[in-house]
Amino acid sequence: MFSQTAFAIFQESIEAYHIKDHVDQEFVNPYPKNDIAHLLYRKNWIDTVQWHYEDIIRDPDIKPEAALDLKRKIDASNQDRTDLVEYIDSYFLKKYESVAIKENATINTESPAWAIDRLSILALKIYHMKEEAERMDASSHHRETCTKKLSILLEQKKDLTTAIDQLLSDIAAGNKYMKVYKQMKMYNDEELNPVLRGQK
């Protein structure tokens, strides 16, 4: 199933990141550019780096200059994340372009790629909650609480992967159809953000 393949690629990316565990490390994609796995791996790497950006920026002792620099990196990362989601949806649009859509076909509340985006974040939650559940320098109460939370996350993974595969199956059968809206983010656009526009 596609969702299980995607989740395995997300795990691979997360494990690779944590070998060095540093936000400034070099990114190397092990998959060829014409493979959907290339986009999935890149997508999760962006999410993983941003996860750690979000940890760093919450340091109460962070200096204002460093926090501002990090905020801009987070903004850029969010744009990259959105771009990757749209590339992944383009893959699905191409894959299913010849499907005959049934007359009573319905549209889903989100596109396949945005559901896969949630699966990528969920893979990170599972990885880090498992770390906390097994952290021997933490109290037994902490480990027990995190173990319970991990169980819920794993149940969520089961539900989400099932839903993604069902959506793709419905699209392939013509029971649902894709309609993708570009995100049209405004805050990075010099023509749409009045602050940036005023600096021109």
What is the biggest distance separating any 2 CA atoms in the chain, rounded to whole angstroms?
A: 59
Q: What was the pLDDT predicted at 7? A: 98
Exposure on the CB side of residue 139, measured as CA atoms within 13 A: 3
Residues of the chain with pLDDT under 70: 183-200
Give the residues across from 150 on adjacent strands: none
Q: What was the pLDDT predicted at 191? A: 66
- Domain span at residue 96 reads 2-198
Q: Is residue 176 a contact partner of residue 106, using CB atoms and an 8 Å limit?
A: yes
Q: What was the pLDDT predicted at 197? A: 62
Q: What was the pLDDT predicted at 180? A: 79
Q: What's the total number of domains in the chain?
A: 1
**Closest-CA residue to 43 (of 140, 119, 99):** 119
Q: What was the pLDDT predicted at 86? A: 93
Query: Residue 169 phi/psi, 5° resolution?
Result: -65, -40
Predicted TM-score of the model (pTM)? 0.90
Q: Is residue 47 a contact partner of residue 116, using CB atoms and an 8 Å limit?
A: no
Q: What was the pLDDT predicted at 194? A: 67
